[in-house]
Amino acid sequence: MKTKIIRTAIIQFDIRLGDVESNLAVARKRIATLAKQGTRLILLPEMWSTGFANDRLKEFSETTPRVLKDLSGIAKKLHLTIIGSLPEKRKAGIYNTAYVVDKDGSVAGAYRKVHLFSPTGEDRYFKPGRKAVVSETSLGPIGLMICYDLRFPELCRTLALNGATLVAVMAQWPAERVTHWDTLLKARAIENQLFILGANRCGIDGNLAYAGHSRIISPYGEVMARAGKRHATISATMDLRVVERTRKHIPCLKERMPKAYG
């Protein structure tokens, strides 16, 4: 029997470019604090251990196994599920990969970012993932999305149809498009009638300012917890039974007409 009521949290911080030890220290400290508050699920931002240090991407991707091992130890010790995106080195190239580390320390799921943001040249440094992923965890099925994925409603709908009642979105979303971030998080939650956790970074990297604005959103589109534009930790308690009630009250997913959509 999966847990129905989950204390969730998002850690929003200014990722230091290429400084794995500093970023890991921030994560460790905040995770320990959240564990003491009864948190069971923690979401970190996109590429949280390294930032987009694209010129040294191969080098920094080699730190990911060590970072994952560290997270696994923390998760097992504190009985937490931790999710975050890291650079994954494979023979084919480097992927921007969201890892789900479950409370027993195992990697319960991994999702390679499908939609790479070409305006910043992300597609020149990373290989694209090829499939949607719903990770089966001790807390239930969790769908995974990374940043630019949020602009593609087909992906989130696929996660919902594949059983996700909660979708974790990791991002490095810029401040100049913060209204898009806020709106799209709500839209994905409402149209798929599920919980959305959106973890964004904050701070400045070169000439680019990041939005922050991490959010936890209910299937009704209610913002249950929100961050501003600075370092923050936000928390909310999710009752996953709300997903079932929402879908029963307004049966959008059941009343889809795929044949009419072309």
Q: What is the pLDDT of residue 245?
A: 96
The torsion angle over the Cα atoms of residues 236, 42, 36 and 72, rounded to 10 degrees, is 160
Q: What is the pLDDT of residue 2?
A: 64
For residue 5, the cross-strand partners are 239
Q: Where exactly are the structural domains of the chain?
A: 5-261
Encoding tokens for residue 196? 């959305």
96 with 126: CB under 8 angstroms?
yes
- Considering the entire predicted model, what is its pTM? 0.97
Q: Which residues of the chain have pLDDT under 70?
A: 1-3
Q: What is the pLDDT of residue 206?
A: 87
Query: What DSSP state is assigned to residue 26?
Result: H
Which residues are identified as catalytic? 46, 113, 147
CA distance 261 to 256: 9
Q: What is the pLDDT of residue 71?
A: 98
Second-level CATH architecture of 5-261 = 4-Layer Sandwich (3.60)
Choose among 179, 236, 207, 198: nearest CA to 12: 198
